[in-house]
Amino acid sequence: MPGSSGIHGVESMSDGPTADAASAAGADDFDLCSLEELKGKGALRFEFKDPTHGRHEIGVFWDGESAYAIENYCPHEFGLLSYGPVEPGVVACPLHAAVFDLKTGECLDKYTYDTVAYETEVREDRVWVKVPGEERFIRG
């Protein structure tokens, strides 16, 4: 995928609604952004806090057909995947071009380790991501 053209990731964190919106769907479900915002920017990044491993980022992607969420730090040398080019079903790391399956997190070219994929769903034009046992980290 190096050299390909595609939707490029977005630079800024999006706060969207807070964790308060993790309503009837369950405490592990997070309403992260509007589908319209995601479609407009191509990718967004959100900070979470794991009780054991601490803070990390989840990248949320729009590939032209579906929304996906995977760990935003590339397992190779921590490139921010939300800055990488997106093509249908895949994103390439902006640093060394490892290619990840957006649905499964698998590193398709075996350049590095697989990453974590999160269950993602669009409900009434909002993008929800299931992140079991974690909480949103929003800078104060």
77 binds ligand FES (CB under 6 A): yes
Closest CA to 81 of 96, 89, 91, 67: 91
Q: Give the x-and-dash track for 100-139 against ligand FES (CB under 6 A).
A: -----------xx---------------------------
> How many whole angstroms separate alpha carbon 95 and alpha carbon 76?
9
Q: Pick one of 19, 95, 116, 122: the residue that binds ligand FES (CB under 6 A).
A: 95
> How many whole angstroms separate alpha carbon 84 and alpha carbon 24?
33
Q: Pick one of 93, 99, 127, 131: the residue that binds ligand FES (CB under 6 A).
A: 93
> How many whole angstroms separate alpha carbon 43 and alpha carbon 53?
24
Interface residues toward ligand FES, by CB under 6 A: 74, 76-77, 79, 93, 95-96, 98, 111-112
